[in-house]
């Protein structure tokens, strides 16, 4: 595959708990930190250490240190879920990632996540190959990369649902990069700003159906824009069953979760088959690393 972005380093040395991704001529990285006592002193030390790591990375790759972006990821009990979507900068350093003939815009400077999950590369390829002639629903669509894959793969209609204006605007950019702007403007690939839970409920009431549903919810959400909370460890079984009710006969649901320690519960399986896709999705630069939970759930 013709790519220009891949996982460069993933905490391979315990004393250097960094995660580094190379995007063409720039690097986005994260330091996994645990705040204990003397947090103020630790914070000062961490910033000095990150600065020295930034210099070392730039020198090793022979790039300017202005193209190396390192951020902190706190342990889950020390941060709010959804912090990955909160701005940490306003620098606006962008690159376009190439995967074969597809292009995706990433922002290396402003968020903990760049807008594209590199460990989902093979998932994007699978979605592209599974949607020819299909009606597709992409829930929690984020920056619309899987919607682009479905459209490039020949989907006749793609609905992308997300609550964030920021990410829906980002999805428009990804559509345009892949020559899909006209399809969006004609209503064949609508970007729908709505709480996915509310959208599902309305779709069930209106008896709407799709051939393929992509369900990639956050591990937890307590967004001010939605009522209640979503805890995918607690809520995924009910959410999956609702989505299965929106599938056409012989349709397929692609479900994924990056929640740590996630265990899939689907209850009785007489009417559908479940396949663990993680062995298929592990690319060379992620071998030996923890992968997101990925399943295909197909109606029988």
Give the per-residue pLDDT at 228: 65
pLDDT one-digit tens code per residue, 220-246:
666 544 456 777 878 888 899 999 999
Give the per-residue pLDDT at 82: 45
Boundaries of domain holding 43:
5-95
Q: Which of 95, 130, 165 is the last residue of a domain?
A: 95
Give the per-residue pLDDT at 273: 92
Question: Are 187 and 82 part of one and the same domain?
Answer: no
Give the per-residue pLDDT at 22: 98
Q: State the total domains in the chain.
A: 2
Question: Are 17 and 158 part of one and the same domain?
Answer: no
Question: Are 69 and 134 part of one and the same domain?
Answer: no
pTM of the predicted model as reported, rounded to 2 decimal places: 0.90
Please report whether residue 156 resides in a domain. Answer: yes
Give the per-residue pLDDT at 219: 80
The crossing angle, in degrees rounded to 10, of helices 121-130 and 145-152 is 40
- The ranges of the chain with pLDDT < 50 are 37-38, 41, 76-84, 224-226
Which CATH number belongs to the domain containing residue 55 in this structure?
3.30.750.80
Give the per-residue pLDDT at 200: 97
Question: Are 223 and 155 part of one and the same domain?
Answer: yes
């Amino acid at each position: 595959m013709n790519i220009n972005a891949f996982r460069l380093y993933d905490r391979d040395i315990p004393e250097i708990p960094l995660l580094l991704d190379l995007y063409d001529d720039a690097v986005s990285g994260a330091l996994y930190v645990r705040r204990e006592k003397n947090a103020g002193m630790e914070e000062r030390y961490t910033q000095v250490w990150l600065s020295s790591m930034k210099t070392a990375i730039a020198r090793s790759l022979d790039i300017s240190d202005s193209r190396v972006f390192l951020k902190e990821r706190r342990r889950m009990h020390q941060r709010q879920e959804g912090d990955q979507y909160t701005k940490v900068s306003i620098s606006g350093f962008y690159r376009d990632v190439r995967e074969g003939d597809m292009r995706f815009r990433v922002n290396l400077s402003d968020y903990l996540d760049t807008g594209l999950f590199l460990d989902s590369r093979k998932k994007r390829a699978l979605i592209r190959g599974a949607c020819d002639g299909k009606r597709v629903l992409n829930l929690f669509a984020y920056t619309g990369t899987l919607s682009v894959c479905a459209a490039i793969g020949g989907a006749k209609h793609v609905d992308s649902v997300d609550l964030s204006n920021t990410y829906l605007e980002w999805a428009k950019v990804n559509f345009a990069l892949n020559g899909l702007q006209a399809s969006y403007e004609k209503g064949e690939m609508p970007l729908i700003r709505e709480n996915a839970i509310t959208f599902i409920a309305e779709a069930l009431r209106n008896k709407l159906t799709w051939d393929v549903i992509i369900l990639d919810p956050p591990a937890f959400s307590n967004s001010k824009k939605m009522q209640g909370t979503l805890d995918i460890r607690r809520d995924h079984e009910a959410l999956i069953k609702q989505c299965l009710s929106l599938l056409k006969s012989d349709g397929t649901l692609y479900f994924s979760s990056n929640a740590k320690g996630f265990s899939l519960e689907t209850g009785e399986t007489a009417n559908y088959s479940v396949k663990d896709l993680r062995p298929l999705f592990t690319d060379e630069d992620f071998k030996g690393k923890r992968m997101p939970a990925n399943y295909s759930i197909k109606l029988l």
